[in-house]
């Protein structure tokens, strides 16, 4: 359960301000990514399940309210704000969202939240932290899985993650993005995905000889064992393993020239009739190193990827934002689209929808339009109702199902969009005419 205080202080000062000004009118915020990182041509949404869970359970404990009212900043805020308003505070708004595992592009809302201003505002911080991190990991996983071209990719990054909860979220998002499993046991248990892993170098070091270590391990794990070969000398270890008489299901290489070593180990295994023994490679891998190994024809059957997945090391943050796009009931009773004109941070007014156009089974381009404009012919609406009046409309989807949906969605992207070196604006995304008009009007209104 995420504490209601897991938010930036200004969300609470603004909430108090809106409450005091009796300005608790409905407002809409949208969560989107301003620009794709330089080495991404699409992102893959993830984290919606945790986001909805957070919204549904949001409330202030007595202890939290007491602590808050004692902060010096709140000295002039009337006690009713804490005793009444925050005491009964719940998220009672509506959420529209893209399904997890959907390919998404810059400026496309992943999530649209409509609620009273203070409610919609308070949840910004946690929604961004939850959704943008998982989205960034799922996107990276999709690239790595593509690079592996059908070979298994397993997420091994828990130890390098930004704390243990981050490791759990990374394992989940990696699986959505196409990984076949995780080393993190708690993630496997919680999310129902396969757990993977057998021995570390320390196992080999803890016995007098490698051969002793391998034989001892086989006593309990003969059918799932992955023997680690590089503790001292990879080829000597491979020969020792072969000589031991074990029938290893798999061996692992974790350092050195993985291309050359995998070929030599393959030869040693094959010469002893161990043709079904697979070779698994790990060690600071990412999509580029994997693509190079695959292109070189290295006989590697699967990859374990750590840091690149769990920290998204080449793009550890997305330019994800959560922006006010509409306020109702300011003077008139109609919805008013709002914009921000800060240099480089301009926004588009009003509630939006994203339509994807398919041509011969392939995604041909997206249109971002006003949520209430007529759906353009042939466009598939990507934002769907996820929560109404604070209640979830969609259940948690089992992760293997999400992963399959994600794979199908990515498969609809054109080949040149999926290429690892595709530029970040290769996929056509257009703002609808109506949205362009609305922005012009809103800017003029502001300039006036």
User: Among residue numbers 144 through 203, which ones bind a second copy (CB under 8 A)?
Assistant: 156, 158-170, 183-186, 188-189, 195-203
Chosen residue from 340, 407, 430, 434 binding a second copy by CB under 8 A: 340
Q: Measured from the CB of residue 381, what is the shortest distance to a second copy in angstroms? A: 26
Q: Which of 150, 245, 344, 395 is close enough to bind a second copy by CB under 8 A?
A: 344
When the beta carbons of 307 and 412 are compared against a second copy, the nearer one is 307
Q: Which is nearer to a second copy, 249 or 299 (CB)?
A: 249
CB of 358 to a second copy, least distance (A): 34
Give the span between the Cα atoms of 396 and 398, in whole angstroms.
6
Q: For a second copy, which is the closer residue by CB, 35 or 384?
A: 35
Minimum separation from the CB atom of position 156 to a second copy (A): 7
* Minimal distance, residue 376 CB to a second copy, in Å: 29
Closer to a second copy by Cβ: residue 8 or 264: 8
- Of the pair 195, 431, the CB lying nearest a second copy is at 195
Across 264-290, b (16+ Cβ under 10 Å) vs e yields: ebbebbeebebeebbbbbbbebbbbbb
The stretch among 1-9, 87-95, 366-374, 393-401 that binds a second copy (CB under 8 A) is 1-9
Buried b (16+ CB within 10 A) or exposed e, 226-243: bbbbbbeebeebbbbbbe
By beta-carbon proximity to a second copy, the closer residue of 277 and 311 is: 311
Give the Cα separation of 288 and 224 in Å (integer).
29
Tokens of 132: 């943008």
Q: How far apart are CA 324 and CA 340, in angstroms?
A: 9
What are the residues whose beta carbons fall under 8 Å from the beta carbon of 212, sequence distance 6 or more? none
Site for a second copy in 4-63 (CB under 8 A): 5-14, 16-18, 20-21, 23, 27, 29
Q: What are the two backbone dihedrals, phi and then psi, of residue 394, each rounded to the nearest 5 degrees? A: -120, 135
The span of 119-127, 395-403, 406-414, 428-436 binding a second copy (CB under 8 A) equals 119-127
At a CB cut-off of 8 Å and minimum separation 6, what does 41 contact? 417, 418, 419, 422, 423, 424, 426, 427
Q: Extract the tokens encoding 111.
A: 């999530």
Question: Is 108 an interacting residue with respect to a second copy (CB under 8 A)?
Answer: no
- Name the one range near a second copy by CB under 8 A: 91-99, 333-341, 357-365, 390-398: 333-341
- Least distance between a second copy and beta carbon 21 (Å): 5
Burial string for 411-428 (b: 16+ CB within 10 Å, else e) reads eebeeebbeeebebebbe
Residues in region 348-407 near a second copy by CB under 8 A: none
Among 53, 64, 264, 405, binds a second copy (CB under 8 A): 64
CA dihedral sign, ordered 202, 203, 209, 210: negative
Among 46, 86, 338, 382, binds a second copy (CB under 8 A): 338
183 and 155 Cβ atoms separated by less than 8 Å: yes
Q: Contact at 8 Å (CB) between 177 and 44?
A: yes
Contacts to a second copy from residues 302-331, by CB under 8 A:
307, 311-313, 316-318, 320, 322-324, 327, 330-331
Residues 204-263 interacting with a second copy (rule: CB under 8 A): 205-208, 216-217, 219-224, 230-233, 254-256
Count the site residues for a second copy by CB under 8 A: 110
**Residues facing 114 on adjacent strands:** 28, 94
388 phi/psi in degrees, rounded to 5: -130, 130
Sign of CA dihedral 228, 230, 232, 237: positive
Quick one: which of 404, 405, 408, 428 has its CA closest to 416?
428
| Region of 38-46, 116-124, 239-247, 290-298 interacting with a second copy (CB under 8 A) | 116-124
């Amino acid at each position: 359960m995420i504490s209601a205080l897991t938010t930036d202080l200004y969300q609470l000062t603004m909430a108090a301000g809106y409450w005091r000004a009796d300005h608790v009118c409905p407002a809409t915020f949208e969560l989107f990514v301003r620009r794709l990182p330089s080495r991404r041509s699409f992102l893959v949404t993830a984290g919606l399940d945790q986001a909805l869970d957070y919204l549904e359970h949001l409330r202030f404990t007595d202890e939290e309210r007491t602590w808050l009212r004692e902060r010096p900043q709140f000295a002039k805020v009337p006690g009713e704000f804490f005793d009444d308003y925050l005491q009964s505070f719940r998220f009672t708004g509506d959420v529209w969202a893209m399904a997890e595992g959907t390919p998404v592009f810059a400026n496309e809302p992943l999530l649209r939240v409509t609620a009273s201003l203070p409610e919609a505002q308070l949840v910004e911080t946690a929604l961004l932290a939850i959704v943008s991190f998982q989205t960034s990991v799922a996107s990276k996983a999709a690239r790595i899985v593509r690079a592996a071209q059908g070979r298994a990719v397993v997420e091994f990054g828990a130890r390098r993650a930004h704390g243990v909860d981050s490791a759990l979220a990374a394992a989940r998002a990696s699986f959505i993005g196409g990984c076949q499993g995780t080393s993190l046991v708690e993630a496997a248990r919680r999310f129902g995905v396969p757990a993977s892993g057998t021995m570390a170098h320390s196992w080999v070091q803890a016995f007098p000889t490698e051969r002793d270590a391998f034989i001892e391990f086989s006593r309990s794990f003969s059918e799932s064992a992955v023997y680690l070969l590089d503790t001292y000398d990879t080829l000597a270890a491979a020969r020792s393993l072969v000589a031991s008489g074990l029938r290893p299901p798999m061996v692992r290489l974790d350092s050195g020239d993985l291309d050359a070593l995998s070929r030599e180990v393959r030869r040693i295994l094959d010469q002893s009739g161990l043709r079904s023994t697979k070779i698994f490679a790990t060690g600071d891998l990412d999509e580029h190193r994997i693509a190079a190994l695959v292109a070189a024809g290295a006989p590697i059957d699967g990859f374990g990827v750590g840091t690149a997945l769990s920290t998204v090391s080449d793009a550890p943050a997305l330019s994800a934002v959560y922006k006010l796009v509409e306020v109702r009931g300011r003077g008139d009773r109609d919805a008013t689209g709002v914009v921000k004109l800060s240099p480089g941070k301009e926004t588009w007014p009003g509630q939006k929808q994203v339509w994807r156009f398919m041509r011969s089974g392939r995604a041909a381009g997206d249109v971002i339009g006003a949520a209430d404009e007529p759906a353009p012919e042939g466009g598939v609406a990507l934002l769907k109702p996820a929560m109404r009046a604070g209640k979830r409309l969609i259940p948690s989807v089992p992760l293997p199902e999400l992963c399959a949906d994600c794979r199908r969605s990515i498969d609809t992207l054109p080949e040149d969009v999926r290429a690892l070196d595709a530029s970040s604006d290769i996929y056509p995304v257009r703002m609808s005419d109506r949205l362009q008009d609305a922005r012009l009007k809103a800017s003029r209104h502001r300039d006036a």
